[in-house]
Amino acid sequence: MMPPATLEIAGLLALAALVWLVWDSLRAREAAVAAARSACSAEQLQFLDDTVAIQSVLPARNSDGHLRLRRIYGFEYSDTGNCRHPGTIVMLGPKVLIVRLGATPARPPLRVIR
């Protein structure tokens, strides 16, 4: 059996790892929301619900070979305000790698009333 002090240290380390994971996930989510908002604004689209939803979290290596968490977030946007289209953000650690906006139908033509 392990001495009680060793169990306490292991418990504290597990708690610290959990706190770090939550803090790092909140920071990554804020970056993903900012990236989605920016991408929608650049394409003159409406960023719906002002939020992103986590779809996947996996360990991955960055270009330097360091282990990071690769997170994939989903969000929705609209081109006309009448429909919702899915978008995706891929992050590696705190860095945004990819922002994907799905295909949208052509905007309806403006009608001129005379």
| Residues 80-89 pLDDT 10s | 888 899 999 9
Give the model's pLDDT for residue 77: 94
Give the model's pLDDT for residue 60: 95
Identify the H or E element spanning 40.
Answer: helix 4-42
Structure tokens at 47: 């960023």
Q: In whole angstroms, give the CA distance from residue 57 to residue 101.
A: 20
Residue matched to tokens 């002090």: 5
pLDDT of 43 higher than 60: yes
pLDDT of 17 higher than 90: yes
Residue matched to tokens 């939803």: 53
Prediction pTM value: 0.80
**pLDDT band for position 112 (cuts 50, 70, 90):** very low
| Residues 58-88 pLDDT 10s | 999 999 999 999 999 999 999 888 889 999 9
Q: In whole angstroms, give the CA distance from residue 61 to residue 39.
A: 25
Provide the percentage of residues in the chain whose pLDDT is more than 90: 74
| Residues 19-33 pLDDT 10s | 999 999 999 999 999
Instruction: Taking the CA atoms of 31, 36, 40 and 42 in sequence, report the sign of the dihedral they define.
Output: positive
The SS3 assignment for 15 reads: helix
Per-residue HEC secondary structure of 53-97 comes to EEEEEEEEECCCCCEEEEEEEEEEEECCCCCCEEEEEEEECCEEE
pLDDT of 108 higher than 50: no
